[in-house]
Amino acid sequence: MKDRAEKVAHIFLIDDHPAVRQGVKLLLSQESHIVCGEAENRFETLERIGSSGADMALLDLSLGAEGGLELIAGLGELGIAVLVYSMHEDADTIERAFAAGANGYVSKREVAEVLLTAVSDLLAGRRHVSPLVAQSLANRALSAPKANLETLLSEREQQVLTMLGQGESNADIAAAFFISVRTVETYCARIIDKLNLDGMKELRRYAIKNKP
């Protein structure tokens, strides 16, 4: 830990929970980092941070009834690095935070060591994504290709997939298109292959989950 604390950060805490701020302040002080200011909402942040001497802001995205995302761009314009420290782990929120200019993102469910490593990374000019946040982004990336693979389906295969998503049986689909059940099974087999699915049960789950 000594090496990590050789460079000291001046950190402004933005969180609407006093107990969280107190705990984080204690943790950071153990690494010789300096908490140079605190705020629990956007108004207090804008009022205090300019004169705080902060080079980094530790920002929660839920500030009572307000959101913290709107603060990120402004903090960046002040030359203050932004480390999001939040319970929000959904990929949409994470991507919006980075798009707004965040330099790092740590889930509040991570152990203390992860937060300290993130502070060290930002001090060194590196971006930081904590393990749980990275997992959320990876899950988004891994689910996207399957949706894109649907473009490989023929028109009839797409129609079959849509009907499966509506809960129709193979017999129902066969009757709707005036084809045999065996032909429907052939279409299903092709869809399974093109979408890299594991059998008919997964195909039906996929169709229901992604139905238009």
* Angle at 54 (CA atoms; ends 50, 56), nearest 5 degrees: 120
Domain 10-140 listed as CATH 2.10.109.10: no
Check: CB of residue 143 under 8 Å from CB of residue 92. Answer: no
CB 138 within 8 A of CB 145: no
All CATH 3.40.50.2300 domain ranges of the chain, comma separated, are 10-140
The confidence score (pLDDT) of residue 5 equals 46
Intervals of CATH 1.10.10.10 along the chain: 153-209
The whole-number pLDDT of residue 187 equals 93
What is d(CA 92, CA 110) in angstroms, rounded to the nearest whole number? 19
- Per-residue model confidence (pLDDT) at position 2: 43
Correct CATH for 153-209 of 3.30.1370.60, 1.10.10.10, 3.30.70.980, 1.10.150.120: 1.10.10.10
pLDDT in tens, the chain (212 residues): 444 546 899 999 999 999 999 999 999 999 999 999 999 999 999 999 999 999 999 999 999 888 899 999 999 999 999 999 999 999 989 999 999 999 999 999 999 999 999 999 999 999 999 999 999 988 877 766 655 677 788 889 989 999 999 999 999 999 999 999 999 999 999 999 888 888 999 999 999 988 76
187-190 own/partner pairs: CB under 8 Å, 24+ apart: 187/156, 187/157, 187/160, 188/160, 188/164, 190/157
Phi then psi dihedrals of residue 145, to 5 deg: -60, -35
Look at residue 148 in the predicted model and tell me its pLDDT. 66
**Residues 94-109, buried b or exposed e (16+ Cβ, 10 A)?**
bebbbebebbbbbbbe
